[in-house]
């Protein structure tokens, strides 16, 4: 079970969070919750930077749902 969770987390880090529903609202994509700069940097980002981007997108997603 733990191995499945680990694999799922690694898949998220390697796969782009883009959901092909791009629309900027206040400088944030309403589909994946990344900034344009984060989208541009994704493919060249190392694992630590990708984790940081994913953490920020999750925070933005939660904030958008609470407003």
**pLDDT tens digit string along 45-57?**
999 999 999 999 9
* Three-class HEC string of the chain: CHHHHHHHHHHHHHCCCCCCCCCEECCEECCCCCCHHHHHHHHHCCHHHHHHHHHHHHHHHHHHHHC
For residues 7 and 19, the answer to whether their CB atoms sit within 8 Å is no
Asked whether the whole model's pTM tops 0.85, one would answer: no
**pLDDT tens digit string along 11-48?**
667 789 999 999 999 999 999 999 999 999 999 999 99
């Amino acid at each position: 079970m733990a191995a499945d969770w680990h694999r799922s987390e690694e898949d998220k880090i390697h796969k782009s969070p883009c959901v092909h529903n791009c629309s900027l609202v206040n400088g944030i994509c309403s589909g994946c919750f990344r900034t344009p700069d984060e989208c541009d940097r994704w493919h060249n980002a190392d694992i630590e930077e990708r984790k940081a981007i994913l953490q920020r997108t999750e925070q933005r997603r939660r904030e958008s749902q609470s407003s």
